[in-house]
Amino acid sequence: MAVLGPGPARFWSGFTMVLLMLTGSSRTRDVLTGHNDTWREPSTATQEDHDPDPHNGTNSANHRKAFPVLAFNYGHVRKPFEISLWILLALLMKLGFHIIPRVSNIVPESCLLIFVGLLVGGVIKAMKEKAPVLDSKLFFLYLLPPIILDAGYFLPIRAFTENMGTILVFAVVGTLWNAFFIGGMMFAVCQIEAAQVSHVDLLSCLLFGSIISAVDPVAVLAVFEEIHINELLHILVFGESLLNDAVTVVLYHLFEEFSHTGTVTAGDAFLGVVSFFVVSLGGILVGIIYGVLGAFTSRFTSHSRVIEPLFVFLYSYMAYLSAEVFHLSGIMSLIACGVIMRPYVEANISHKSYTTIKYFLKMWSSVSETLIFIFLGVSTVEGPHNWNWIFVIFTLILCLLSRVLGVVGLTFIINKFRIVKLTKKDQFIVAYGGLRGAIAFSLGFLLTDNEMKHMFLTAIITVIFFTVFVQGMTIRPLVELLAVKRKKESKGSINEEIHTQESKTSVDIMDIITGKTTEEQTVVPPH
Amino acid sequence: MAVLGPGPARFWSGFTMVLLMLTGSSRTRDVLTGHNDTWREPSTATQEDHDPDPHNGTNSANHRKAFPVLAFNYGHVRKPFEISLWILLALLMKLGFHIIPRVSNIVPESCLLIFVGLLVGGVIKAMKEKAPVLDSKLFFLYLLPPIILDAGYFLPIRAFTENMGTILVFAVVGTLWNAFFIGGMMFAVCQIEAAQVSHVDLLSCLLFGSIISAVDPVAVLAVFEEIHINELLHILVFGESLLNDAVTVVLYHLFEEFSHTGTVTAGDAFLGVVSFFVVSLGGILVGIIYGVLGAFTSRFTSHSRVIEPLFVFLYSYMAYLSAEVFHLSGIMSLIACGVIMRPYVEANISHKSYTTIKYFLKMWSSVSETLIFIFLGVSTVEGPHNWNWIFVIFTLILCLLSRVLGVVGLTFIINKFRIVKLTKKDQFIVAYGGLRGAIAFSLGFLLTDNEMKHMFLTAIITVIFFTVFVQGMTIRPLVELLAVKRKKESKGSINEEIHTQESKTSVDIMDIITGKTTEEQTVVPPH
């Protein structure tokens, strides 16, 4: 396709302006209409003769107005309309980046999206409007699950189970190490008088450490998918980012509960350990239950092919929600559900349903990821911030330091048990790929609203920006420099190729018949 | 598939019970937790020592509680969870009906679904909970658009344009005739002293007439798709149900606005006529604009195949919402958008995207339709009702009478201009197929809350039940009795076959390769 520079650019700016205008106008309009939820027209059948809707200015002097030929009532469609606009913005951004290949070769998509978010956030703020923030409910309930489901459903099982031990060590021991090291050292830092943060007690620091310590699956996916690293490294870092959810949940609970009492007894620590097992195994159990339900249901869907994909999505989503109800690990539940369900579902459903499931999971997770990064940018502009040089700088340094120390130290131990040892290059990539992302931000967002929270959030955002921008941009040249083994040139992982052998054959035939380009032959279309 | 009678039945009842338990428990839990929107845990970092979450009873006598190993917090996932449960219920119902072929041969799916809704509504009411009602926002913004988009995207254009004159006459003149005849006659009926409804004035009756007069696309689709009537009759009735939206919107506005002033001048009537053209042509214009945008965007999606379907859905949905903002006809906007966009999109997008779009539209509209009928049942039980024998009986009689008179009268005139005349059998089917549905209910729901509204709603529901149950159940035997020409045995309309020729060929080959049953060969899978 020819690159139409001015065309798409006008396109995007046009839509961004529409988005901003509507965000602005909706507030005005709501004030004027008064009836925000009135559909189509207010019910005035027996009310007094007043005029709730400002129609197009045909109010006559007597209290009877003419029949409105055209009206404007934005209030009642506001919510779905604005959601649609944000999704449209996300999609147009994705389109645009792919049209301009030069930029997307140097700068990862995640960076560009955060940048767009900063822009949009800046404009909204300049208009003195309130921008939507990446609040925890939106993130954990709506934006995160599609990405995790997509990852879990297409998880390369063999690689995952072969490296399970390594992944678990990194996920559990590594994250614990990170949390306590960063938390403890930050407490020491806070004692420095110059920082003026001596009011931050140890438990708060540990809470901060537990928030900032976890490697983020969204960020890892976003960056690693563009560099096409070899499967082993990919599954190590990505698997770690998935399995550390249980650790993060427990640590966060633990420190959050007790940061106001001020002490943690040995009993609490023991309960914390118990809780870890409950959270992780419980989450997996919930996922298995729903996975079995999904597998069972797919036996009966032969007469209703059209709704087959919906069962997969619904059961998985409900597995996630059910786990969250009991404060179990929703991520692990979702992964377990997808892993359990997939073989049975794929044996039972039609080919079209399979294509729809795959396409839709990729579509949904694409949009989610895009929106997450855009909203990260918007939330950054929105603030409020509390910038503390010493706190932020030390957080950054300690994050990098603890990651390096953790990876090196753990690899030393792990390599004694591995057949295929992890080389220094591997260790470097694993350490460098420890990116932080929106999960850390959303967890920080949950804290009580005070100056300390703002300081924490500012530090978290800085770390996220550093990992996404600096590490994200430099990892590709570094990978090439170090000549790290890349993914096979085939179109997707081996596991996926085997599983989709049939569709690949049929795709080839179809493409020959229809004469479409070879791009369609990619079983897992690159987004 | 073998019919497992007790299995699925246990399955359904199990899920229905879960749904009801959660609806009930959520209210209790919200009271206990107090923090409905707190995610994962409340932020108590610097609050006083109080206990917002009732954990599993480990509150010790001193004000310090042990670390909760397991918690229960349903409040924050309530909304997505309950939505998922309702959709799951709808899907399981669809599954179940297809497993028991005998029932579904006699009773149309819509009847069974309303019945399920009545059951569920009854149980919820017995538990003294508040059931979700089919309120107008839910219906017009979320449930109706997928059905209309599905219909519009796959509209058989040739048949539609060939019969455009007939369809328009039925849609506009027929609906006007219905509205005024029913409204006027009901006013006469209300003058009967025995009815005790003499307070209902003429304008309110005309308002009622305009609500009840319009043929409902959802109900027509639901019933006609099961009887596989020939294409001409299908497009006549269905096309009428789509195009009468503009008439309904204008009439509803007109009478609603002026029912409290009490008089309608000639000027208002003229403005009403003007408004009709604005509403219909404006709606079409909005649809065309978004359709062109969609067609234009699809030129650039070759690098981002994964998100192609989303553009189709988004632009269409925004066309609908934009039309609704200006009180134009959202349905016509959506149809226009789909019709305009489709040829360009299909020329540009990949085959997989095409499959996904088609599958997902069918899926979404299936679920929507199912939910609409279930909620109709639930809303019926929820009430409140105001049963007035004379009002309801006469409404029913007049609806049938006006429909028959209207169709016969208009056909007499139309046949003078048609080459292929409409026979008496055709007229009978067209008259008999004038079903009322959820649009009438939702419009009635918008009226001011008073006794008159309740009476109107009760009458509307009775008419809907009559058309869906009685007419819906008897239309199939009548069609066979009258030996009305059926749809060709091919799998879908001719238009669809031509358009999907390529995928049909590839489906055949794929099915041979994969050895799947011939059910998959249906290009438009029956839902």
Residue A206 has pLDDT above 60, yes or no: yes
C-alpha–C-alpha distance, residues A31 and A89, integer Å: 27
pLDDT for B526: 44
Degrees (nearest 5) of the Cα angle B119, B123, B129?
A: 135
Average pLDDT, integer, range A98-120: 81
Q: Could B70 and A278 be called an inter-chain contact, meaning their C-beta atoms sit closer than 8 Å? A: yes
Q: Of A349, A338, A292, whose CA–CA distance to A502 is shortest?
A: A349
C-alpha–C-alpha distance, residues A207 and A214, integer Å: 12
Q: Amino acid letter at A34?
A: G
Q: Which residues contact A4 (CB under 8 A, 6 or more apart)?
A: A99, B300
pLDDT for B127: 84
Q: Of A422, A90, A208, whose CA–CA distance to B310 is shortest?
A: A90
Please count the other Cβ atoms lying within 10 Å of the Cβ belonging to residue A50. Answer: 9
C-alpha–C-alpha distance, residues A146 and A368, integer Å: 7
Phi and psi angles of residue B254, each rounded to the nearest 5 degrees, phi first: -55, -55
pLDDT for B200: 77
C-alpha–C-alpha distance, residues B85 and B232, integer Å: 39
Quick check: B92 and B11 in contact, CB under 8 A?
yes
A363 contacts on B by Cβ (under 8 Å): 306-307, 309-310, 356
Q: Which residues contact A10 (CB under 8 A, 6 or more apart)?
A: none
Q: Amino acid letter at A184?
A: G
Residues present in chain A in total: 527
Residue A526 has pLDDT above 50, yes or no: no
pLDDT: is A501 or B424 the higher one?
A: B424
Q: Of A218, A177, A170, whose CA–CA distance to A401 is shortest?
A: A177
B15 contacts on A by Cβ (under 8 Å): none
Q: Of A92, A222, A509, whose CA–CA distance to B304 is shortest?
A: A92
C-alpha–C-alpha distance, residues A398 and A409, integer Å: 16
A526 preceded by cis ω (within 30°)? no
Q: Amino acid letter at B34?
A: G
Quick check: B313 and B359 in contact, CB under 8 A?
no
Quick check: B112 and B411 in contact, CB under 8 A?
no
pLDDT for A398: 92
Q: Which residues contact A174 (CB under 8 A, 6 or more apart)?
A: A240, A244, A406, A407, A410
- Supply A282's token pair: 């419980």
* 10-residue stretch averages of pLDDT, chain B, 527 residues long: 42 50 41 34 33 34 54 81 88 80 76 88 83 81 91 86 90 92 89 72 87 89 83 89 87 78 73 86 93 88 79 92 90 91 84 81 88 89 81 90 92 89 88 89 84 87 90 86 70 45 44 45 42
Average pLDDT, integer, range A348-357: 79
C-alpha–C-alpha distance, residues B219 and B110, integer Å: 8
Please count the other Cβ atoms lying within 10 Å of the Cβ belonging to residue B489. Answer: 6
B304 contacts on A by Cβ (under 8 Å): 94-95, 98, 527
Q: Amino acid letter at A273?
A: V
A327 contacts on B by Cβ (under 8 Å): 40-41, 68, 70-73
Q: Could A511 and B352 be called an inter-chain contact, meaning their C-beta atoms sit closer than 8 Å? A: no
pLDDT for B144: 92
DSSP three-state, residue A47: coil
| Start-to-end CA span in chain B (Å) | 17
pLDDT for A48: 31
Q: Could B261 and A64 be called an inter-chain contact, meaning their C-beta atoms sit closer than 8 Å? A: yes
pLDDT in tens, A227-265: 888 888 889 998 999 888 888 888 888 887 776 666 667
Quick check: B152 and B339 in contact, CB under 8 A?
yes
Is A51 in the B-facing interface, judged by CB distances under 8 Å?
no
Quick check: A448 and B44 in contact, CB under 8 A?
yes
Phi and psi angles of residue A486, each rounded to the nearest 5 degrees, phi first: -100, 175
Interface of B with A in 292-311 (CB under 8 A): 297, 299-307, 309-311
DSSP state letters, A320-345: HHHHHHTT--HHHHHHHHHHHHHHHH
Whole-angstrom Cα Rg for chain A = 26
B54 preceded by cis ω (within 30°)? no
Give percent above pLDDT 90 in chain A.
Answer: 16
pLDDT for B307: 81
Q: Amino acid letter at A126?
A: A
B310 contacts on A by Cβ (under 8 Å): 87, 91, 363, 367
Q: Amino acid letter at B221?
A: L
C-alpha–C-alpha distance, residues B411 and B34, integer Å: 63
Is B505 in the A-facing interface, judged by CB distances under 8 Å?
yes
Average pLDDT, integer, range A305-320: 88
Burial of A325: CB neighbours in 10 Å, binned 0-12, 13-18, 19+ = buried
| Sign of the alpha-carbon torsion through A35, A38, A42, A43 | negative
C-alpha–C-alpha distance, residues A364 and A15, integer Å: 21
DSSP three-state, residue B331: helix
Q: Which residue of A has its CA nearest to B356?
A: A356
Average pLDDT, integer, range A434-444: 89
Residue A78 has pLDDT above 50, yes or no: yes
Interface of B with A in 224-243 (CB under 8 A): none
Residue A64 banded pLDDT, cuts 50, 70, 90 = low
Average pLDDT, integer, range A59-63: 37
| Start-to-end CA span in chain A (Å) | 16
Q: Which residues contact A173 (CB under 8 A, 6 or more apart)?
A: A410
Q: Amino acid letter at B342?
A: R
Interface of B with A in 422-461 (CB under 8 A): 446-450, 452-453
Is B74 in the A-facing interface, judged by CB distances under 8 Å?
yes
A·B CB contacts under 8 A: 357
Q: Of A433, A251, A243, A252, whose CA–CA distance to A331 is shortest?
A: A243
| Sign of the alpha-carbon torsion through B226, B230, B234, B235 | positive
ipTM above threshold 0.95? no
Q: Which of B99, B305, B327 sits opposite A73 (nearest CB)?
A: B327
Mean of the per-residue pLDDT values of chain A: 77
Q: Could B1 and A299 be called an inter-chain contact, meaning their C-beta atoms sit closer than 8 Å? A: yes
C-alpha–C-alpha distance, residues B265 and B261, integer Å: 11
Q: How far is CA A76 from the centre of its chain?
A: 29
Q: Which of A325, A356, A513 sits opposite B506 (nearest CB)?
A: A513
pLDDT for A17: 52
pLDDT in tens, B378-420: 888 887 788 888 888 989 999 999 999 999 999 999 989 888 8
3-state secondary structure B284-329: HHHHHHHHHHHHHHHHHHHHCHHHHHHHHHHHHHHHHHHHHHCCCC
A213 half-sphere exposure, CB direction, 13 A CA radius: 35
Please count the other Cβ atoms lying within 10 Å of the Cβ belonging to residue A445. Answer: 23
Interface of A with B in 154-173 (CB under 8 A): none
Scanning the structure block, which residue is given the tokens 């996300």?
Answer: A90
Q: Of A52, A43, A76, whose CA–CA distance to B207 is shortest?
A: A43
Q: Of B245, B242, B135, B233, whose CA–CA distance to B432 is shortest?
A: B233
A337 DSSP β-pair partners:
none
Interface of A with B in 257-276 (CB under 8 A): 257-261, 267-268, 271-272, 274-275
Residues present in chain B in total: 527
Give percent above pLDDT 70 in chain A.
Answer: 77
Residue A399 banded pLDDT, cuts 50, 70, 90 = very high
A87 contacts on B by Cβ (under 8 Å): 310, 314
Dihedral of the alpha carbons of A71, A76, A78, A81, in degrees to the nearest 10: -80
Q: Could A260 and B47 be called an inter-chain contact, meaning their C-beta atoms sit closer than 8 Å? A: yes
pLDDT for A7: 45
Q: Which of B49, B260, B510 sits opposite A45 (nearest CB)?
A: B260
Q: Which of B98, B363, B502 sits opposite A514 (nearest CB)?
A: B502
Q: Could B95 and A326 be called an inter-chain contact, meaning their C-beta atoms sit closer than 8 Å? A: no
pLDDT for B36: 32
A486 DSSP β-pair partners:
A229
